[in-house]
Amino acid sequence: QDLTVRQQGNGGWSYYLSGEVGGAAKPQSISFTTATVVLALERTAEIDLLEDRAMLDRGLDCLEAMRSPKGTFSYFLNGGSLATSARSGDGVEASAARGPVCGLALLRGDRETAEELAPRLKMYVEHLPAFGAQRRKALMHAGLHTQGSHYLLYDYATAAQALNQVQSEQGFPKALAKKTRAAVLREVRACLNADGSFTDNPLLGTTSATGLAVLALVNLVEN
């Protein structure tokens, strides 16, 4: 019920409650937020507990609309309806980390293939060092292309999940799977603390960071 109320007119979800100085809400959806909700709804549908399939379909439509010709997913889809919405935040350097989770949500919704998800993982690995360089920094969006430290372990966990989903698919490049696993594992290890916990942004603490790190490691285990 809460997700139904919070679904935007263009079909996605946002973590912003307002977008103007006066507090007026600006109609918009955020790609990785929408992907996270869509993944949850897809899991709910798998166990026959999703009462409103239309809500999931609208979320998938929104995610598809946020795919840019560059192969990235925009940060925002701005507009009160899907027909009138426009993308913003398509830059490859800043948006590469959104590709795996958004592609995974579309893959599980039969809106994308493993072959289409492969270049998203490739792009993610290429730009991963710039994100990793922000680890343990309290200041957010401090990277050259606004990369931040506050989503790092979430991105590692979802990239590992996406890899685990597609690596056994016929035709998925084994070299890319190996390279992706090694790159994500390297970055997860760099967030390890002496006591066994993990940190990406120190202001967020170690509890959720450690949980996300464990999720990443579980999906990085080679079968």
| Average pLDDT of the residues in 123-133 | 97
Q: d(Cα 115, Cα 107) in Å, to the nearest integer?
A: 10
**Poorest-pLDDT segment among 41-45, 70-74, 160-164:** 70-74
Tokens of 163: 């890899």
CB atoms within 10 A of CB 40: 15
Residues contacting residue 84 through CB under 8 Å, at least 6 positions apart: none
pLDDT at residue 18, as a whole number: 67
In this predicted structure, the answer to whether residue 137 has a pLDDT above a threshold of 60 is: yes
| Average pLDDT of the residues in 175-199 | 98
pLDDT at residue 22, as a whole number: 74
Owner of token pair 């035709």: 171
Q: Residue 197's closest CA among 222, 214, 174?
A: 214
Q: What pLDDT, in 10s, does the model give residues 13-24?
A: 998 876 677 777
Confidence label for 57 from pLDDT (cuts 50, 70 and 90): very high
Backbone angles phi, psi at 87, to 5 degrees: -80, 155
pLDDT at residue 19, as a whole number: 66
* 121 or 170, which is more confident: 121
Angle at Cα 83 formed by Cα 78 and Cα 88, nearest 5°?
25
* Strand partners of residue 78: 28, 86
Considering only CA atoms, give the Rg of the chain.
Answer: 17
* Strand partners of residue 28: 78
Q: What pLDDT, in 10s, does the model give residues 70-121?
A: 889 999 999 999 999 999 999 999 999 999 999 999 999 999 999 999 999 9
User: If you write DSSP's letter for every residue of 24-65 in order, what string do you get?
Assistant: PPPPEEEHHHHHHHHHHHHHHHHTT--S-HHHHHHHHHHHHH
Task: Write down the mean pLDDT value for the chain.
Answer: 94
pLDDT at residue 222, as a whole number: 79
pLDDT at residue 25, as a whole number: 73
